[in-house]
Structure 1
């Protein structure tokens, strides 16, 4: 068995004295693992860092084997990611999210979303908005998608300001006001009427009006609630520390921008 594809490195772990097991995200084959012989050598260290884009050739005797990777660097982005706290925490948080996907199950939208976020991790506000959309897409691809297109009570598609924590559906202001303390805020940039973003390189399916600090905090609270409920709690897991670090790094940046 053999295939070749471009991939984004998510993580590595030691194997034996000189090799690594590499975890990469590919567009057609999803999250895929393989052994890199000699991957711990000084010569290969720079190429095998999370966030880098590489050309992969995977070979194995049988399709269900771990297989061997041959690696060719295409875009070494790890050094740039290490220059900002949003880059350091962001790539780890993304890898932790993608780890919940079944191995070798293709998710092209998540692959493309990953590429978009990595390109903007040095821009905290844009990275935060993209990360929220990415978390919503992960929930959807795992079968727990939120319905933010219309009000669960009235069917209205405008003035959607809440989300039901039980159903994961949007609720309009009029229907939700009596129950507001029990509902989650729906940030304006996630509502269907949000205007398209003008950020270069943001995929159209992820576009939306860029948020202010409060909207972004509400958005992370929203996605964090449903990630915990549907993905983490059933596995007896806690939220990734990298995700907490990413959210805090963005919060600090926006606070400094407001005070400056």
Structure 2
């Protein structure tokens, strides 16, 4: 096995006395693990920060063997680690990717979306510029893993207009008319999850994140992976203070 790619660092674990096992998101080969010799050294440790873009080369004698991995820095986001909200967002997005995706399966749309999200976190003047993108990334990840929400039409009436809620049980959209009398049992649906854009304010962003968070916790981040949700809870708490 031999893979060369510009990849996103998603997770790094210490391995042995000096090495690390890094999991990188590649454009064409999905999430790939590799052993980095000397990965805990002063020279390589800053390269392997989650969120960084690296030129990666994986080599293994067979598909079953953990590949040896060498990396060179392409783009560092280390400067954002001193900004608590941006650092928390990068930490969550990369941890989610590493925990949720099966290794070795291509997810080109997710790679492009993660790269776009990280760029938005880096370049936007505030979290208002990337909060909606984070919710859309989580929504896309749910869909890529087979847990997509149906936001095309009302589950009760079949009407595509006036969609205002999501059923927490079925993941289908519900219109104002279809929700009459049941509003308190449904999740408010911000329009940006359907139409795009940045949302109309913090309330919209938090509403979108509540929807994706509900389905991530229920369908994806279960059992051992559930512990990763603590990073998301800390992020949502920080965003909530801004509202």
Is TM more than 0.5 here?
A: yes
- The offset of 1:235, in angstroms, is 5.7
Q: Where does residue 52 of structure 2 map in the other structure?
A: 52
Q: Where does residue 167 of structure 1 map in the other structure?
A: 170
CA RMSD of aligned residues (A): 1.7
Q: Pick the aligned partner of 2:185 from 182, 185, 202.
A: 182
2:157 is the alignment partner of 1:154: yes
CA distance in structure 2 between the partners assigned to 1:209 and 1:3 by the alignment: 36
- The offset of 1:180, in angstroms, is 1.0
Which consecutive residues of structure 1, in runs of 5 or more, have no partner in the other structure? Answer: 195-206, 256-260
1:176-221 CA distance string (max 9 Å, x none): 1221111111112223xx3xxxxxxxxxxxx424331111221121
> What is the TM-score with the length of structure 1 in the denominator?
0.86
- The offset of 1:172, in angstroms, is 0.8
Q: Where does residue 258 of structure 1 map in the other structure?
A: none
SS for the counterpart of 1:38 is coil
Q: Where does residue 2 of structure 2 map in the other structure?
A: 2
The 8 Å contact of residues 153 and 163 in structure 2, kept in 1 or not, is answered as yes
**Correspondence list, 1:219-234, <5 A:** 219-233=208-222
1:200-250 CA distance string (max 9 Å, x none): xxxxxxx42433111122112111111121123466835622111222222
The 8 Å contact of residues 191 and 199 in structure 2, kept in 1 or not, is answered as no
SS for the counterpart of 1:171 is strand
Stretch moving more, 59-68 or 231-240: 231-240
Which consecutive residues of structure 2, in runs of 5 or more, have no partner in the other structure? Answer: none
The 8 Å contact of residues 54 and 73 in structure 2, kept in 1 or not, is answered as yes
**Correspondence list, 1:82-231, <5 A:** 82-98=81-97, 99-122=99-122, 123-191=126-194, 194=195, 207-231=196-220
Give runs of ≥4 in structure 1 deviating > 6 Å.
none
The 8 Å contact of residues 129 and 198 in structure 2, kept in 1 or not, is answered as no
CA distance in structure 2 between the partners assigned to 1:233 and 1:20 by the alignment: 26
> What is the TM-score with the length of structure 2 in the denominator?
0.92
Distance 1:239 1:174, change over 3 A: farther
CA distance in structure 1 between the partners assigned to 2:55 and 2:137 by the alignment: 24
Distance 1:249 1:168, change over 3 A: same
1:57-85 CA distance string (max 9 Å, x none): 111111221110111111111x2221312
Distance 1:104 1:75, change over 3 A: same
